[in-house]
């Protein structure tokens, strides 16, 4: 085992301290070390977006970030999107609109969509489609994903990331 | 939803009310939100890589960088010497006597099937062929150790072109056969010669249906745990039930002691309908080491060693009268099936033959299939499996024929449509289509899209250098596999049956569990099946817990593929629920002193016809069944029934699709402007799920037509080996879709349903290809093969102009 580095991550509002190899990917730190298995891995080339989380309020592909690079950062994962038993409007919209089938791309899609709506609260269909270009789905043909994001945009509160206050 | 609910109703014929289908239909037919979604949208789904066991080890595979080579030596010493490495295995270490399974043994046909070992024996035959298995403590370090395994190869000549592979001077991949040819198989009916002799025109085309990937977003993964003489395997598979007997056989563990669990599975599309070396290898290693062993595929690995699909060169000849009447159809399929044969590898191209008549009256039809091996990974079932290839060749050729006859392509189709039928139509090859109304689907399609209007737009756009085209496809396909009598060992040659199982358990409280032998991976069966069962028991779908994908939880099943789940598994669920309902009626009749025939389901109660206040709820019935002091004499206690359903016939969904594309003649780039789909899969159980299947299916077909290609170079190197090079469609390239349905009931099952999981894919590639050819026709391009990349389209335009393509 090569030497490890101490890292502190704020995930969904809670502080986690861990010792990691410098090469450990953030996605594996979240999944394997901390148990946030809602964040998925679908590729090894930063193409699929299944691993998308929010870091300091921005959507990042957590397979492309080292855990050590995230030291001290505020991270929101899919597990942090619902609060007090209340689904995030995007989660609700994905459910209502059948925006998922196998569900594997879904956490990444929701996180990417949340970042998109935070930047552009009233997107056109075309803007949603281009905004989600970095997230692959093999099941839905995107039709209902796009519909869900557009529907969520009409819902109050959709543009607010549930967790935590952004200080970047 | 663009589905025309009202008009759909008009074409809907209500399901007959039989004992298996007493559905008062409170929930069937409704677009209920999915039961599976709450866990999936909150990150609480449990996929294989989300499961970790105490003491778990990690596996990594050393894979061949050569497409064809002798293994001279393997030096594992350096890898074994690393900290945290528990074992490194090569072929000689594995005491697995049998080769990986291949399940197709057609009577009277020789199929040259080579051994296919978990780890390569002596030679490697394709890039990615596994030569060593490394097991160690850490997810990352096993990759380091795999790199320390030193393999010396002596390269052998490579063949990747299936036509060259058949030539006498080709390198031979498996020497024992002295040829790369695997099998020859034909299916025909009617007088082909007479048909062509009668024809005024004969159109022949060479249609290439290139190799593609399933590319489920969840890579494959296995976690195997052998302890106390029992093996448990969690696998990202479509076929937990079929995997179990093979693990049992290959590892010599009694079947009852093998449990396979398909937890949440992140898509399959056929690519997880397989018995993979990694599943067997991890299970073997777990037993050997006495520790759980986990392997998670990387995407680059997956592109190499998760089976591919299609890869046919099709030579199609169609003969027709001047008025468009088809007289004969002959297709020759040359299928490049890769270096080994996996579960259904050599069988898939033959599936094309079953629908080679398409939706048309064809007096004579013949399909000849030659399977050939090359130095590539095997092909097998990928969404549609043989039917997309058949439909592509039929429908592209229909447009070519229309072009030749100078006829409207839809008029040509209408001229040849098999007239509507509801109780079976036998094609010349002896396949009996269950029901069809092709004109109806096409008419419905034309309610949504007006070709004349598109042509007018095209004329206007052309002035701006944009070439707009419209393409159509009217298709039928074969699914709901399978009637065991037809597909079994003495029929088509599959070494097994095609039935499905279901068990409905009403607990003492009245809570209900449905166990299905199908194994969904995104289709939404927990919702659709709950709707079916709920209506038969007078309860809410929320009260039906649907369990699947665990061989220990219910009767043996045959899993999910080939759009079989609803038509076969759904019917089994309906029948099991019907048995429960029948028993419930007897208990109620006994307790209320009525005739069981007079007990009906009304508003959630089994009540006496004519006296609705006299009745019992399901939970009251369950209480009576489990505290059985007052049930009919001789009746067994309990309320727990199962069904094994073997269908009488396949089912044949059909439909009509249209696509509008714009082609930029300067760059060859194609935009999909509109896509309209009308599909008929019988009465809807949940229309929302149908639309979802159609959307995803279409994109898989559009992806093949325009972007996706598994491409090996001459040396057998995989050029499109990651998501960087393998172009999956993204949201940005796709339009929103317009979908509608007609509902023509199937006579085959009591639900009257057909499958819909593959229909979109089956119809989409010819629809898009025809649209592109239509767009390019003013430029002189009259035919083009997929994938319609900008480069290929641009080259075709240059060639048509008489210039020399770069
Ligand atoms: S896993 Fe991160 S982009 Fe695919
Ligand atoms: S829902 Fe399966 S990949 Fe998107």
The 3-class SS string of chain A reads CCCCEEEEEEECCEEEEEEECCCCEHHHHHHHHCCCCCCCCCCCCCCCCCCEEEECCEEEECCCCEHHHHCCCEEECHHHCCECCECCHHHHHHHHCCCCCCCCCHHHHHHHHHHHHHHCCCCCHHHHHHHCCCCCCCCCCCHHHHHHHHHHHCCCCCCCCCCCCCCC
Say which residue the tokens 């559009």 belong to: B702
> What backbone torsions phi and psi does residue B568 show, to the nearest 5 degrees?
-110, -55
Domain end position, chosen among A51, A80, A109: A80
Q: Is B635 on the interface with A (CB under 8 A)?
A: no
Reported CATH class of domain B48-156+220-296: alpha beta
For residue B266, the chain A residues in CB contact (below 8 A) are: 40, 42, 102-105
Encode burial over B461-477: b for 16+ CB neighbours within 10 A, e otherwise.
Answer: eeeeebbbbbbbbbbbb
Same domain, yes or no: A108 and A137 = yes
Contact yes or no for B217 and A138 at CB 8 A: yes
B655 HSE (CA, 13 A, CB side): 30
Same domain, yes or no: A94 and A149 = yes
Mutate to test the interface with B, among A77, A103, A140 (most CBs of B within 10 A): A103
Instruction: Give chain B's mean pLDDT.
Output: 95
How would you classify residue B604: left for phi > 0, otherwise alpha for psi between -120 and 50, otherwise beta?
A: left
> What value does the mean pLDDT take over residues B767-774?
98
CA distance A8 to A71: 5
What is the Cα B98 distance to its own chain's centre?
Answer: 27
Same domain, yes or no: A16 and A44 = yes
pTM higher than the cut 0.90: yes
pLDDT tens figures, B716-733: 999 999 999 999 999 999
Q: Smallest CA–CA separation between A38 and chain B, in Å?
A: 4
Same domain, yes or no: A144 and A119 = yes
Same domain, yes or no: A99 and A45 = no
Contact yes or no for B43 and A94 at CB 8 A: no
Longest dimension (CA), chain B: 90
According to the CATH classification, is domain B308-481+649-800 in 3.30.365.10? Answer: yes
Mutate to test the interface with A, among B31, B212, B217 (most CBs of A within 10 A): B217
A100 lines ligand 2 (CB under 6 A): yes
pLDDT bracket for residue A167 (50, 70, 90) = very low
Pocket probe for ligand 2: among A94, A138, A142, the residue whose CB has the most ligand atoms within 8 Å is: A138
Domain range for A12 is 5-80
Same topology, domains B308-481+649-800 and B499-645? Answer is: yes
Q: Domain containing A22 — which CATH number?
A: 3.10.20.30
A98 lines ligand 2 (CB under 6 A): no
Q: What is the dihedral of CA B596, B597, B601, B606, to 10 degrees?
A: -20
> What atom of ligand 1 comes closest to residue A49's alpha carbon?
3
pLDDT bracket for residue B482 (50, 70, 90) = confident
B261 HSE (CA, 13 A, CB side): 16
pLDDT bracket for residue A159 (50, 70, 90) = low
> What backbone torsions phi and psi does residue A51 show, to the nearest 5 degrees?
-95, 10
Instruction: Confirm whether A69 is domain-assigned.
Output: yes
Of A48, A100, A138, the CB nearest to B40: A100
Q: How far is CA B404 from CA A165, B50, B323, B360, B783, in A?
A: 67, 57, 11, 18, 12
> Does residue B235 contact residue B243 with C-beta atoms inside 8 Å?
yes
Instruction: Confirm whether A159 is domain-assigned.
Output: no
More confident position, A58 or A168: A58
pLDDT bracket for residue B8 (50, 70, 90) = very low
Q: Is A159 on the interface with B (CB under 8 A)?
A: no
Using DSSP bridges, classify how beta strands B640-645 and B500-506 pair: parallel, antiparallel or unpaired. antiparallel
CA distance A84 to B215: 36
Same domain, yes or no: A93 and A66 = no
Instruction: Confirm whether A60 is domain-assigned.
Output: yes
pLDDT bracket for residue B674 (50, 70, 90) = very high
Of A42, A101, A143, the CB nearest to B737: A143
- For residue B40, the ligand closest to its alpha carbon is 2
Q: Quick one: CA dihedral B672, B676, B682, B683, positive or negative? A: positive
- Helices then strands, each counted (H, E), chain B: 21, 28
> What value does the mean pLDDT take over residues A139-165?
82
CA angle B351, B356, B361 (to 5 degrees): 145
- For residue A46, the ligand closest to its alpha carbon is 1
pLDDT of residue B207: 98
Find the distance separating the first CA and the last CA of chain B, reported in whole Å: 45
Listed by number, the residues of chain B in 693-732 with a beta carbon closer than 8 Å to a beta carbon of chain A are 695-700, 722-724, 728-732
pLDDT bracket for residue B24 (50, 70, 90) = low
> What value does the mean pLDDT take over residues A137-147?
98
pLDDT bracket for residue B803 (50, 70, 90) = low
Q: Is the pLDDT of residue B3 over 50?
A: no
Q: Is the pLDDT of residue B7 over 60?
A: no
pLDDT bracket for residue A119 (50, 70, 90) = very high
pLDDT tens figures, B45-83: 999 999 999 999 999 999 999 999 999 999 999 999 999
Give chain A's radius of gyration (CA, Å): 15
Size of chain A in residues: 168
pLDDT of residue B17: 33
Q: Is the pLDDT of residue A73 over 70?
A: yes
Own/partner long-range contacts of B591-596 (Cβ < 8 Å, ≥24 apart): B591/B616, B591/B624, B591/B630, B592/B616
Contact yes or no for B730 and A91 at CB 8 A: no
pLDDT bracket for residue A83 (50, 70, 90) = confident
CA distance B613 to B592: 11
Percent of chain B scored above 70 by pLDDT?
Answer: 96
> What value does the mean pLDDT take over residues A152-167?
63
B354: which DSSP letter? G
Instruction: Confirm whether A162 is domain-assigned.
Output: no
Domain end position, chosen among A80, A104, A131: A80
Q: Which residues contact B423 (CB under 8 A, 6 or more apart)?
A: B435, B747
Fold topology of B499-645:
Aldehyde Oxidoreductase; domain 4 (3.30.365)
pLDDT tens figures, B276-335: 999 999 999 999 999 999 999 999 999 999 999 999 999 999 999 999 999 999 999 999
Q: Where are the domains of chain B?
A: 48-156+220-296, 308-481+649-800, 499-645
Q: Is the pLDDT of residue B84 over 60?
A: yes
Q: Among residues B423, B304, B314, B414, which one has the least CA distance to residue B711?
A: B304
pLDDT tens figures, B621-668: 999 999 999 999 999 999 999 999 999 999 999 999 999 999 999 999
Q: Is B215 on the interface with A (CB under 8 A)?
A: yes
Same domain, yes or no: A113 and A74 = no
What is the distance in A from the centroid of ligand 2 to the CA of A95? Answer: 13
- For residue A109, the ligand closest to its alpha carbon is 2
> Does residue B380 contact residue B344 with C-beta atoms inside 8 Å?
yes
Helix H or strand E encompassing B619: helix B618-626
**Residue B341 token pair:** 């044969």
pLDDT bracket for residue B13 (50, 70, 90) = very low
pLDDT tens figures, B204-259: 999 999 999 999 999 999 999 999 999 999 999 999 999 999 999 999 999 999 99
CA distance B230 to B257: 5
Same domain, yes or no: A30 and A51 = yes
Nearest CA in chain B to A97: B33
Q: Among residues B291, B285, B295, which one has the least CA distance to residue B251?
A: B285
> Does residue B400 contact residue B366 with C-beta atoms inside 8 Å?
no
Same domain, yes or no: A10 and A64 = yes
Instruction: Give chain A's mean pLDDT.
Output: 93
Using DSSP bridges, classify how beta strands B230-235 and B258-261 pair: parallel, antiparallel or unpaired. parallel
Same domain, yes or no: A104 and A63 = no
> Does residue B581 contact residue B4 with C-beta atoms inside 8 Å?
no
For residue A147, the chain B residues in CB contact (below 8 A) are: 736
Q: What is the ipTM of this complex?
A: 0.95
pLDDT tens figures, A1-48: 568 999 999 999 999 999 999 999 999 999 999 999 999 999 999 999
């Amino acid at each position: 085992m090569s030497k490890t580095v101490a890292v502190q991550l704020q995930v969904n509002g809670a502080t986690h301290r861990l010792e990691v190899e410098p090469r450990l990917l953030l996605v594996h730190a979240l999944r394997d070390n901390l148990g946030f298995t809602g964040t998925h891995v679908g590729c090894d080339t930063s193409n699929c977006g299944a691993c998308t989380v929010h870091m300091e309020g921005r959507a990042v592909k957590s397979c492309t970030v080292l855990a050590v690079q995230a030291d001290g950062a505020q991270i929101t994962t899919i597990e942090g999107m619902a609060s007090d038993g209340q689904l995030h409007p995007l989660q609700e919209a994905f459910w209502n609109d059948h925006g998922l089938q196998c569900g594997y791309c879904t956490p990444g899609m929701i996180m990417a969509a949340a970042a998109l709506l935070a930047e552009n609260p009233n997107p056109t269909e075309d803007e949603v489609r281009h905004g989600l270009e970095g997230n692959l789905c093999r099941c839905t043909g995107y039709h209902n994903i796009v519909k869900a994001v557009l529907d969520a945009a009409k819902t109050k509160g959709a543009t607010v990331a549930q967790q935590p206050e952004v200080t970047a | 939803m663009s589905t025309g609910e009202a008009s759909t109703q008009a074409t809907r014929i209500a399901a007959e009310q039989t004992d298996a289908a007493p559905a008062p239909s409170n929930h069937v037919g409704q677009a209920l939100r999915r039961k599976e979604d709450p866990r999936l949208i909150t990150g609480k789904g449990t996929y294989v890589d989300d499961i970790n066991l105490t003491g778990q080890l990690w596996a990594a595979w050393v894979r061949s960088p050569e497409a064809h080579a002798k293994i001279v030596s393997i030096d594992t010493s350096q890898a074994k010497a690393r900290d945290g490495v528990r074992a490194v295995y090569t072929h000689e270490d594995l005491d697995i006597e049998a080769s990986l399974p291949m399940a197709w043994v057609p009577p009277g046909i020789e199929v040259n099937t080579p051994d296919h070992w978990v780890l390569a024996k002596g030679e490697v035959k394709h890039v990615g062929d596994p030569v060593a298995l490394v097991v160690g403590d850490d997810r990352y370090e096993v990759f380091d150790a795999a790199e320390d395994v030193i393999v010396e190869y002596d390269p052998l000549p490579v063949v990747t072109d299936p036509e060259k592979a058949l030539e006498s001077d080709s390198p031979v991949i498996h020497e024992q056969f002295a040829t790369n040819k695997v099998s020859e198989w034909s299916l025909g009916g009617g007088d082909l010669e007479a048909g062509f002799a009668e024809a005024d025109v004969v159109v022949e085309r060479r249609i290439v249906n290139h190799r593609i990937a399933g590319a489920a977003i969840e890579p494959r993964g296995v976690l195997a745990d052998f302890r106390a003489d029992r093996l448990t395997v969690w696998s990202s598979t479509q076929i937990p039930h079929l995997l179990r007997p093979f693990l049992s056989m290959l590892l010599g563990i009694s079947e009852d002691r093998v449990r396979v669990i398909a937890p949440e599975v992140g898509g399959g599309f056929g690519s997880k309908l397989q018995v993979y070396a990694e599943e067997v290898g991890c299970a073997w290693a777990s037993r050997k080491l006495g520790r759980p062993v986990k392997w998670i595929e990387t995407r680059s690995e997956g592109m190499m060693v998760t089976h591919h699909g299609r890869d046919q060169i099709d030579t199609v000849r169609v003969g027709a009268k001047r008025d468009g009447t088809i007289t004969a159809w002959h297709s020759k399929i040359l299928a490049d099936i890769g270096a080994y044969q996996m579960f259904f590898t050599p069988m898939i191209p033959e599936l094309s033959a079953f629908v080679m008549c398409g939706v048309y009256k064809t007096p004579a039809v013949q399909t000849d299939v030659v399977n050939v091996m090359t130095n590539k990974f095997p092909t097998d079932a990928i969404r549609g499996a043989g039917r997309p290839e058949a439909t592509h060749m039929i429908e592209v050729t229909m447009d070519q024929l229309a072009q030749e006859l100078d006829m409207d392509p839809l008029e040509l189709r209408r001229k040849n449509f098999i007239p509507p039928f509801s109780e079976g139509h036998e094609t010349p090859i002896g396949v009996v289509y269950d029901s069809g109304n092709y004109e109806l689907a096409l008419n419905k399609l034309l309610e949504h899209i007006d070709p004349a209007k598109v042509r007018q737009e095209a004329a206007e756009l052309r002035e701006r250098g944009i070439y707009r085209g419209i393409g159509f496809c009217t298709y039928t396909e074969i699914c709901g596999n399978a009637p065991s009598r037809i597909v079994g060992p003495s029929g088509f040659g599959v070494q097994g049956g095609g039935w499905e199982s279901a068990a409905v358990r009403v607990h003492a409280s009245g809570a209900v569990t449905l166990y299905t032998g199908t194994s969904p991976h995104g289709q939404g069966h927990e919702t659709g099946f709950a709707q079916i069962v709920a209506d038969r028991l007078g309860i809410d779908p929320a009260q039906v817990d649907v369990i699947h994908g665990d061989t220990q939880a219910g009767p043996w099943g045959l899993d999910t593929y080939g759009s079989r789940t609803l038509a076969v598994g759904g019917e089994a669920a309906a029948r099991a629920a019907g048995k429960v309902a029948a028993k419930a009626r007897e208990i109620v009749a006994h307790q209320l002193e009525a005739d069981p025939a007079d007990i009906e389901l009304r508003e959630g109660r089994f009540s006496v016809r004519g006296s609705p206040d006299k009745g019992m709820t399901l939970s009251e019935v369950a209480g009576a069944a489990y505290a059985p002091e007052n049930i009919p004499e001789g009746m067994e206690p309990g309320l727990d029934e199962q069904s094994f359903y073997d269908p009488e016939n396949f089912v044949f969904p059909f439909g009509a699709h249209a696509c509008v594309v714009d082609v930029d003649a300067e760059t060859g780039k194609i935009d999909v402007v509109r896509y309209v789909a009308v599909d008929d899969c019988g009465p809807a159980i949940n229309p929302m799920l149908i639309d979802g299947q159609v959307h995803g299916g279409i994109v898989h077909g559009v992806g093949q037509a325009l972007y996706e290609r598994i491409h090996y170079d001459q040396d057998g190197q995989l050029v499109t080996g990651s998501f960087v090079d393998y172009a999956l469609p993204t949201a940005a390239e796709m339009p929103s879709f317009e979908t509608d349905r007609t509902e023509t009931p199937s006579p085959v099952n009591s639900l009257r349903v057909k499958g819909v999981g593959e229909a979109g894919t089956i119809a989409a590639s010819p629809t898009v290809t025809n649209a592109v050819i239509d767009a390019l026709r003013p430029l002189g391009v009259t035919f083009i093969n997929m994938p319609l990349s900008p480069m290929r389209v641009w080259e075709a335009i240059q060639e048509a102009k008489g210039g020399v393509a770069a």
